[in-house]
Amino acid sequence: MSARARGGRRGSRQGRGRTGGRAGGRRVFFFGDGRADGRASQRDTLGGKGANLAEMTRLGLPVPPGFTIATAVAKAFAEGGGRVPAGVLREARAALARVERIMGARFGDPEHPLLLSVRSGSPVSMPGMMDTVLNLGLSDQTVAGLAERAGERFAWDSYRRFVQMFGDVVLGVPHERFEACLESVRDEVGASEDTQLGAGDLRRVTREYLEIVRAHTGAAFPQDPPEQLERAIAAVFRSWNNERAVRYRRLHGISDSLGTAVNVQAMVFGNMGEGCATGVAFTRDPNTGDKRFYGEYLENAQGEDVVAGIRTPQPINEASRSGSSLPSLEQQMPAVYRKLLRIAKRLERHYRDMQDIEFTVQQGRLWLLQTRTGKRTPTAAVRIAVDLVKERMLRREQAVCRVDPAQLDRLLHPTLDPNVRRDVLARGLPASPGAAVGAIVFSADVAEARAKAGEKVILVRAETSPDDIHGLHAAEGVLTTRGGMTSHAAVVARGMGKPCVVGCGAARIDEAARTLRVGGRELGEGDALTLDGTTGEVMAGRLPTVTPELGGAFTELMGWADRLRRLRVRTNADTPHDARVGREFGAEGIGLCRTEHMFFEPARVIAVREMILATTREERVRALAKLEPVQQSDFAGIFRAMDGLPVTVRLLDPPLHEFLPQNDDEIRELAEALDTGPAEVRARVDALREFNPMLGHRGCRLGITFPEIYEMQVRAILRAAREVAGEGIRVEPEIMIPLVAHESELARLRALVTREAARVLGDRPNIGLRVGTMIEVPRAALTAGAIAASADFFSFGTNDLTQMTYALSRDDAGRFLPEYIEMGILEDDPFVSIDESGIGELMRIAVQRGRAARADLTLGLCGEHGGDPKSVRFCHALGLDYVSCSPYRVPIARLAAAQAAVGER
């Protein structure tokens, strides 16, 4: 082998000279014996697999020779009605001749047949989604030649494998047919594993397979190797559009237009008996990120067998053992193992990342069949990125870009133990990640009561409303049968960092009977349930969870990210607890403190309702007086938690009807408090009803028509600020006015705030109060210049801005938006990632006009988009000062902001 490797290095230099200038029109890229037309950087052209096969060949590693048909051909193939262009076939034949020369065997030759693998490989990894055919080139004739040279058993084992794979992938014969046949032969001869089948058994299996194909397709199995090759290439191109691949691309946002490449490669055999094996290895532990070589292999087997799980694989070394008592590769084939380890180290250094390697050993000789960036858990991703910096393979800014910010979400929440089998009852939308385990409860009150008694509960509802807040707080997780990713339950749960599955249509709740019917089972209150908010799975019983540790590596990486980013990150927090969590996660202030959540607490909501239903100013002022001290203490708690950091408090925003009593009990209770009758209360509630509350009497409109509400809130904020400042704590209050559409609204309310501030703080205000507005109405964005005259800051409320600009109701979009995305009409849910060309354009206008009117205007964004990596990048590019997101998303935003800054260099 060393001669080959040396030849390889020499060859690669020549190879580069030969390909120069011609690469543009090339559609077939040869690799083998140290030379390769392609290289690792040509992923788009060659697919990931092809590009890395070429690169490994250039590195002089032992890779079976072959060629890659470029992704561009996939397009020609589809447009040409499913035919491989003749020119490509000609180029392929020329490349095949080179493979034959290297291997010293001929494709289709009855004496010494060359066998091929035909492998898919797209620019973006789609593991297991597309097809591969192995052992191609076998026929009734060539199998005899192979048997002659390499043994009967091996030849027939290869032939039956080929007939099955070709039958399945190319001819569309259901693979169960083959499996059933194999099983019955195994049973008949009393073999528990395929390896126990003899040559005669395998010959019989193959003959039966050929019959299965004839019966299913009505034609004999193709016996002509060139025809086999052409049809296999076509099938791999077609597999780009198989249902599973299409669905996978939708789910992962991969473009359909990339297309797959096809790799045709000489077979090497791990199933030739003694000294043969096949396996996969990772250069580091993909679960923990530990620096240890890790992997599994099977003796006397072919690649597919390892993944298929038909036999228990053996560990490659002690580090990979995890309970297995089988001998390791290191013990069985020490020389091969050492060589594999050496190559693994080399590949990792070369690619500067953890690699996932496929290898095969044919009669003691090691072959590399694939290398790619290894998939890893979030914990491992962070650990590896940091370690690679320490090992001088990466610079810090590169390491920061190695971790997918969205992955951090999972790092911060407990997850289900991956080693436990899941009995999935149903699947909903994965609205908020992490695992939750607890007893089923059907109402917020029961949730609260049971949680107070120390029980862990899962709140199960058709949907939730603001009235359920205390239940959401108390529960470990939330399951709803209706609603989408931006439904109330989803948004609130995400904000609280609670696992949540929404829109689980397969589950039925019977409120009266207090039962949940799902997956053919009926569960009652108190029964155990497990939710996986990361996958949307709902499972019966209590599954064990694991809490990921935020070790030193995480802190270190985040520290690097913080030094790189320009965009600041604040958190949305309505309670001191959330404020503290956000701060622990690195928030640099509060960008949104919603005051209405404080109103929903059961003890307060009565006073809130009195305030709303008041018919005179006096009544309203009296009710507000009850709320003022509680609001003040809420704010004081938050200011204390955020010592030294800015806190943006938004004045009351939602339409008042949201606070109103819903049922007879609540109406009676309120009537008593108001000293009137239920009928009177009901009449007043009806009078408040609006046709279109989201566009109705809400936000600053309330502050203008009922100034005493905002006056009370301003006083509570400033008294809290003064109180806390007296304790030696640094307070930076910011008051934010919601739903401003016209500059006069803000001018008027700014005057109100200033007036109240003067009353509270006197003429020597030692507290620097800033006043600003949400930009969430399209008109406000367009007239940002005029609005900036009264604003110290803008904060984009992109939830409402999206809703209003898109004429898309957040609460109803679930009915058609998933279909829109499925059909490709929209690429992303605009409530998840900012619609850059529409809503983003309005933001651009507002930034420009706002800053032109006032250079020192602070610009931020609050809302769900603040924790979405793509939207964070956009905010960075837009030049915002900060984004604000729910506490658990703060690290995501920090990392995404750093990546945006690095990407700009």
Taking the complex as a whole, the smallest distance from the CB of residue 222 to ligand ADP amounts, in Å, to: 20
| Segment near ligand ADP (CB under 6 A); pick from 212-220, 262-270, 478-486, 570-578 | 262-270
Q: Do 412 and 555 contact (CB within 8 A), yes or no? A: no
Binds Mg ion by CB under 5 A, chosen from 370, 481, 486, 858: 370
| Segment near ligand ADP (CB under 6 A); pick from 53-61, 84-92, 128-136, 374-382 | 128-136
Return d(Cα 876, Cα 866) in angstroms, integer: 11
Nearer to ligand ADP, 265 or 487 (CB): 265
Helix, coil or strand: residue 136: strand
Q: Do 519 and 382 contact (CB within 8 A), yes or no? A: no
Q: Do 271 and 301 contact (CB within 8 A), yes or no? A: yes
Using the rule CB under 6 A, is 276 a contact of ligand ADP?
A: no
The one catalytic residue among 413, 488, 597, 876 = 488
Q: Between helices 552-564 and 890-904, what is the axis angle to 10°?
A: 50
* 700 given a catalytic annotation: no
Q: 767: exposed, middle or buried (C-beta count within 10 Å: 0-12, 13-18, 19+)? A: middle
| Segment near ligand ADP (CB under 6 A); pick from 210-218, 261-269, 742-750, 831-839 | 261-269
| Segment near Mg ion (CB under 5 A); pick from 31-39, 194-202, 286-294, 362-370 | 362-370
**Which is nearest to 389 in space by CA: 378, 401, 406, 372?**
401
Taking the complex as a whole, the smallest distance from the CB of residue 134 to ligand ADP amounts, in Å, to: 5
Q: How many residues form the binding site for ligand ADP (CB under 6 A)?
A: 15
The one-letter amino acid code at 293 reads F
Using the rule CB under 5 A, is 866 a contact of Mg ion?
A: no
Site for Mg ion, residues 766 to 795, rule: CB under 5 A: 776
Binds ligand ADP by CB under 6 A, chosen from 42, 68, 122, 132: 132
Taking the complex as a whole, the smallest distance from the CB of residue 481 to Mg ion amounts, in Å, to: 27
The one catalytic residue among 181, 401, 700, 862 = 862
Residue 800's binding partner out of Mg ion, ligand ADP, none, with CB under 5 to 8 Å set by partner kind: Mg ion
Q: Do 865 and 591 contact (CB within 8 A), yes or no? A: no
Residue 797's binding partner out of ligand ADP, Mg ion, none, with CB under 5 to 8 Å set by partner kind: Mg ion
Nearer to ligand ADP, 245 or 846 (CB): 245
Taking the complex as a whole, the smallest distance from the CB of residue 339 to ligand ADP amounts, in Å, to: 17
Nearer to ligand ADP, 358 or 409 (CB): 358
Taking the complex as a whole, the smallest distance from the CB of residue 51 to ligand ADP amounts, in Å, to: 13
Asked whether the CA dihedral 631, 634, 640, 641 is positive or negative, the reply is negative
Using the rule CB under 6 A, is 32 a contact of ligand ADP?
A: no
Cα separations (Å) of 573 from 238, 356, 598, 616, 855? 50, 41, 11, 33, 28
Question: Per this entry, what is the length of the chain?
Answer: 905
Binds ligand ADP by CB under 6 A, chosen from 8, 34, 222, 303: 303
* 488 given a catalytic annotation: yes
Taking the complex as a whole, the smallest distance from the CB of residue 119 to Mg ion amounts, in Å, to: 7
Return d(Cα 702, Cα 237) in angstroms, integer: 61
Q: Between helices 378-390 and 552-564, what is the axis angle to 10°?
A: 70
Task: Please name the residues in contact with 207: beta carbons below 8 A apart, sequence gap of 6 or more.
Answer: none
Using the rule CB under 6 A, is 651 a contact of ligand ADP?
A: no
Using the rule CB under 6 A, is 268 a contact of ligand ADP?
A: yes
Residue 632's binding partner out of ligand ADP, Mg ion, none, with CB under 5 to 8 Å set by partner kind: none
Using the rule CB under 6 A, is 60 a contact of ligand ADP?
A: no
| C-alpha triplet 190, 192, 194: angle, nearest 5° | 105
Nearer to Mg ion, 248 or 820 (CB): 248
First to last CA, the chain: 44
Binds Mg ion by CB under 5 A, chosen from 556, 800, 829, 868: 800
CB closest to ligand ADP, residue no: 303
Helix (H) or strand (E) holding 64: none
Using the rule CB under 6 A, is 356 a contact of ligand ADP?
A: no
Task: Please name the residues in contact with 459: beta carbons below 8 A apart, sequence gap of 6 or more.
Answer: 441, 442, 444, 447, 468, 471, 472, 474, 475, 477, 478, 479
Binding track, positions 358-397, relative to ligand ADP; x by CB under 6 A: x-x--------xx---------------------------
CA 666 from chain center: how many Å?
Answer: 42
Cα separations (Å) of 236 from 65, 127, 131, 245? 19, 14, 6, 12
Binds Mg ion by CB under 5 A, chosen from 797, 830, 866, 891: 797
Task: Please name the residues in contact with 326: beta carbons below 8 A apart, sequence gap of 6 or more.
Answer: 312, 314, 315
Using the rule CB under 6 A, is 135 a contact of ligand ADP?
A: no
Taking the complex as a whole, the smallest distance from the CB of residue 53 to ligand ADP amounts, in Å, to: 9
Nearer to ligand ADP, 361 or 757 (CB): 361
Taking the complex as a whole, the smallest distance from the CB of residue 265 to ligand ADP amounts, in Å, to: 4
**Which is nearest to 265 in space by CA: 3, 30, 44, 567?**
30
Taking the complex as a whole, the smallest distance from the CB of residue 360 to ligand ADP amounts, in Å, to: 5
Task: Look at strands 793-797 and 858-862 and give their pairing.
Answer: parallel
Q: Do 69 and 53 contact (CB within 8 A), yes or no? A: no
| Segment near ligand ADP (CB under 6 A); pick from 156-164, 263-271, 416-424, 596-604 | 263-271
Nearer to Mg ion, 370 or 595 (CB): 370
Q: In the structure encoding, which two tokens stand for residue 469, read together?
A: 């807040």
Using the rule CB under 6 A, is 236 a contact of ligand ADP?
A: no
Binds ligand ADP by CB under 6 A, chosen from 134, 479, 611, 651: 134
Taking the complex as a whole, the smallest distance from the CB of residue 316 to ligand ADP amounts, in Å, to: 15
| C-alpha triplet 216, 219, 223: angle, nearest 5° | 115
Tell me the backbone φ, ψ of residue 167, rounded to 5 degrees. Answer: -60, -45
Helix (H) or strand (E) holding 500: strand 500-502
* Residue 28 DSSP symbol: E
Q: Do 412 and 550 contact (CB within 8 A), yes or no? A: yes
Binds ligand ADP by CB under 6 A, chosen from 61, 138, 155, 267: 267
Taking the complex as a whole, the smallest distance from the CB of residue 738 to Mg ion amounts, in Å, to: 6
| Segment near ligand ADP (CB under 6 A); pick from 127-135, 374-382, 580-588, 753-761 | 127-135
Nearer to Mg ion, 48 or 430 (CB): 48
Return d(Cα 95, Cα 92) in angstroms, integer: 5
Provide the binding-site residues for Mg ion, judged by CB under 5 A.
370, 776, 797, 800
Which sequence positions are flagged as catalytic?
488, 862
Provide the binding-site residues for ligand ADP, judged by CB under 6 A.
64, 117, 119, 128, 132, 134, 265, 267-268, 303-304, 358, 360, 369-370
